[in-house]
Amino acid sequence: MPFKVTFIGAGSVGFTRNLLSDLLVVEEFHDIEIAFTDINQRNLEMVTQLCQRDIDENGLEIEIVATTDRREALKGARYVINVVRIGGLDAFKLDVGIPLKYGIDQCVGDTLCAGGIMYGQRGIAAMLEFCKDIREVSEPGCIMLNYANPNAMITWACNEYGKVKTIGLCHGVQHGHQQIAEVLGLKQSEVDIICAGINHQTWYLQIKYNGEDMTDKLLEAFENHPEYSQTEKVRIDMLRRFGYYSTESNGHLSEYLPWYRKRPEEIKDWIDLSDWINGETGGYLRVCTEGRNWFETDFPNWLQQPAKEFSAEKRSEEHGSYIIESLETGRIYRGHFNVINNGAITNLADDAVVEVPGYVDANGINIPQVGDLPLGCAAVCNASISVQRLAVKAAVNGDDTLLRQAMMMDPLTGAVCNPPEIWQMVDEMLVAEKEWLPQYQEAIASAKERLASENLIETAEGYQGAARLKVKTVEEMRVNREEATKNASNANKAKDRIAVDK
């Protein structure tokens, strides 16, 4: 069944290689077309070389077409897998560093909070260009599977304004499912879950084992777990106070709420530094930086390692390949997807992007009605949805007033900063990130004038946050080559990009 799949941002070694491997496990897909596109020629060449070797050593006759010409790569595509990071690490440093000067201490900064909002401004500007190309040159009805963050904002913009059917995909539900089974002393396959909410704030509403709902047993199980009681303090506290466990990691969740990172002296009470994802200041930026440096340095050794084996046993839990398999073969797949609400969760706004259960087969992607979220959970989600709606409309229209309002409404930003501080911070971020924000040129010119005045609010220049760790050098990473290679493969939540595609 020949059809074409295009990866945008294919220079991401972790996502691209793993998702391609998942896809080619499916026997019916051994004659599909694969296209890679990226603006970074060197990364594109390295990842293509690795992936082509994997294909060849698994005995398949697929030849990857790799090109920096995005429209050429998208021609005739039935599916597009988006794994971009607009602005790359250069912009990411600004998303973390500028808010820190104002006391906003983020672990990640790619979904909500000041960093996630600005990431969305860059991403949406580029994604609307991607959507235009898809509408014009891809196969009619082409579906985009979006892995890029901020997932909900990107998915919202592509569906409503880009007019391309886009499904947002994330692995938070699967990872939390693993944890829940572990603390209950069960196998993951024995525990059935239903989750609903918004991306990175999705709630395990039902947890069943042999027909018995285990939700009431969860708090005690997590509190008594030797590892998670220390590494998941925010998630456990939210479970204690709201009654349901959240899908997202401790570090992520801590920056989406107004309570856990607003006082520097209290941050370490809620996080753990054994792994970046538990709450380290700028933790994801650190591991992405280390991963990129290691991959670029150690690439020749990657080619000496065994090729990835395309086998069902090694297929990941990422939804993308299963969705395509179900649509093409009719095999039924159940997962949790990010889609326009349209009544699936009845006490969240219809226009919002929600993360809910879905079923896929040859008839399409089918979303059942979940009903109401518990009132407290809905309140948490609705606060974030208001930020997302403002941020999406700001990005689409280049409206810096809406952008500033999104920052004010953001839970952590609003807990830390007053309105004049937020206004000045937005000015700084617009000016610093101007090369990726074509829709804001007029606002940026005005921001430059304000920043040139002598009446600026004093900031904590050079402040590194409450829990910052040093970026390892390549020499330091060589001490544990296996760990460094694993980090380089797994750090990519989305593509490291250095500029906007044109």
Q: Which of 79, 256, 284, 322 is catalytic?
A: 256
Answer yes or no: are the C-beta atoms of 102 and 421 closer than 8 Å.
yes
**Residue 175 among the catalytic residues:** no
Q: Which amino acid is at 264?
A: P
Burial 169-186 (b: 16+ CB within 10 A, else e): bbbbbbebbebbbbbbee
Q: Are strands 79-82 and 143-146 parallel, antiparallel or unpaired?
A: parallel
| Closest-CA residue to 474 (of 298, 300, 302, 301) | 298
Which residues lie below 8 Å from residue 328, measured CB to CB, with a gap of 6+? 1, 3, 28, 29, 362
Q: Which of 171, 175, 359, 463 is catalytic?
A: 171
CA 388/CA 394 separation, integer angstroms: 10
Q: Are strands 353-361 and 143-146 parallel, antiparallel or unpaired?
A: unpaired
Tokens representing residue 348 in the block: 């969240």
Tally of CB atoms within 10 A around 437: 26
Question: Which ranges constitute the DSSP H helices of 29-171?
Answer: 41-57, 70-74, 88-101, 113-137, 151-160
**Residue 260 among the catalytic residues:** no
Q: Which active-site residues does the annotation give? A: 171, 256
